[in-house]
Amino acid sequence: MLDKPIANAPGLRILLISAFLVAAGLGSGSGNALSPPPPLPEDRLVAFYQATGGDDWFNNDGWLDPNIPICEWYGVTCRNNTDFGFIEIAEIALPDNNLTGTIGNGDAFDGDVFDIPAVAIDLSGNRIEGPLDRIPFWLGRVDLSRNLLTGPLPAARDGTIIGTPPPDFFSALGQLNLSSNGFEGAIPEDWERFEIQELDLSGNFLDGGLASAFAAIGELPASRIDVADNGFSGTVPPEITDLSLLEAVGLNLCWNALDADQEIDEWLAAHHVGGENWRDCQNRSRLPVDTAISGSWFAPERSGEGVSFHFLPGDSALLYSFGFDLDGNQMWMFEIGNVFETHIEWPGLMETRGDFGAGLRQSEESTALRVTGALRADRLGPETFQVEREFKDWRGCPPLEDSTEPGLEAPSVPPCPVSFLSDRLEHRQLTRLAGASCANRHPAQWLSGAWFGTDRSGEGFLIEVIPDGRAVVYWFTYMPDGSGRQAWMMGVGDIELASGQADPGQPVARIDVEKMVRPTGGEFGPGFDPAAIEREVWGRVRLEFFDEDGGEVAWESDTEAFGIGGHSLARLTRPRLAVCQ
């Protein structure tokens, strides 16, 4: 995420209130008396908990327990406000936590929740309903995405304390995410008062005021705006060229019905996700996403790299993206993303560093893990996805394994040069999991999923049982040379199931892959040449399973450094398959 500088944000609400009270003639006349620090707002947190069904949250650790300090309640982060000399709640973060409730009904949820934290609030991925009565412009980050909010977007002035802020009033709001709700109508004209560095309004029913969205960004450098999946039509307003958006990833206009005049088309190509073919995602129909998407996918013009989707329970999906980095090294990224009606989003793909035989590199200070990419897949046909990829070039920064920054907390704009790349390509389905539809079931389909060694966290196997009774096996691991670099191998093997009841200690299923292959020679981005891919025969792998959740692997590599070895396996994920009668 992109952080807007908010040096003046600590205590902003206090300054705001004081200014308005003085202007209204309501301020204290005593002048210099010192007040005790305000108490943490326990009563408002309790009211918020009760109004959002706190007893049914997925995680409510610490909440309402008188023996646990408020700052240790799940999702509550406190800080020392050095400007005013007291401890305050900096952030409330309760994403994907089964919060329910209605904004706009006058209860404590509506009236107080935005006023509790000083910096940020994240209530994304819950079931919060109702119209949004105000934009909390005094916070630095607001994420209400993936909820059930409806109605028009509120004006910038709605919900102010007393009076109306002057035209040049400073707004702390740097990140606003209202995506994947049910907002409709036009973006209010007075959003030009905002200076939002990252604005996401995608996945709603908005159909007007596109210029107002651009005005909300203003001329802030390194900005991003996403208005994909709405009802915008016509010509892109020329004001867009006044924005200082990030190149390659700063703009997303997809899944609307927009066109552009020729004079701004070059500007759009430089800033839009996917580049100059941005029109390829305009005014197109899509199919619903279902379990049949589970399997491997690739772009024919980039044979030698690809992705694997596994539809999971709870309308989520596991992704492994396997290919190469900008220096030609093997690279893989992974994440669990959100499934929508016609597309899937993985907003933060993880990159790792580790060692073959040991797994992910970790220390007390940091973990070798960071966000390097993003991916969105829209289903164009039964066996066709349009895949939109973003990639973050970290080469100007310290190597991940040597970085002193905590991996997942590293900001999107770190104190080192970072650039972005993106592309958009149609992908075809290469494999489909057995059992992904009722017409392609197989007795061994239960083997499909992600598996890992419990003593080798940060690497593992992805297994795809296909309808002909074979298994596609991916091994995502690391090089054995101490570099920390990633490695991935793949192969197709035969499956052997035990007939009848297996003897104690004997496997109930076995997969033998006689030829695991390690592709090399690729490169992320436009420099990829499929003719340069070399498929090194790596060696052999045997996977044995003693039940549906445990097994072991043994390997013998033709490369001496990888050697011969084995370890136990445990199931990490189980794909959601078709429900058949």
All domains of the chain in start order, with CATH: 42-230 (3.80.10.10), 291-429 (2.40.128), 445-573 (2.40.128)
Residue 415 has pLDDT above 80, yes or no: no
Query: How many residues are present in the chain?
Result: 581
- Which of 132-136, 238-242, 397-401 has the weakest average pLDDT? 397-401
Q: Averaged over 404-417, what is the pLDDT?
A: 49
Q: Averaged over 115-133, what is the pLDDT?
A: 92
90-116 burial by CB neighbour count: b if 16+ within 10 A, else e? bbbbbebbbbbbbbbeebbbbebbbeb
Share of the chain above pLDDT 90, in %: 69
Angle at alpha carbon of residue 1, lines to 380 and 487, rounded to 5°: 65
Q: How far apart are CA 462 and CA 563, in angstroms?
A: 21
Average pLDDT, the chain: 87
Q: How far apart are CA 229 and CA 533, in angstroms?
A: 36
pLDDT tens, 280-299? Answer: 999 999 999 999 999 999 99
Q: Which residues pair with 464 in a beta bridge?
A: 472
Pick 550 or 406 by higher pLDDT: 550
Q: How far apart are CA 59 and CA 411, in angstroms?
A: 26
Q: How far apart are CA 77 and CA 62, in angstroms?
A: 13
pTM of the model: 0.87
Q: How far apart are CA 250 and CA 122, in angstroms?
A: 22
Q: In what order do the strands lie in the sheet with 127-131?
A: 100-102, 127-131, 148-151, 182-186, 205-208
Residue 541 has pLDDT above 90, yes or no: yes
Query: Which residue carries 């389909």 as its tokens?
Result: 445
pLDDT grade, residue 1 (50/70/90)? very low
Q: How far apart are CA 3 and CA 425, in angstroms?
A: 30
Question: What is the structure's pLDDT at 4?
Answer: 28
Task: Look at residues 524, 519, 521, 410 and name the one whose alpha carbon lies nearest to residue 474.
Answer: 519
Question: What is the structure's pLDDT at 159?
Answer: 59
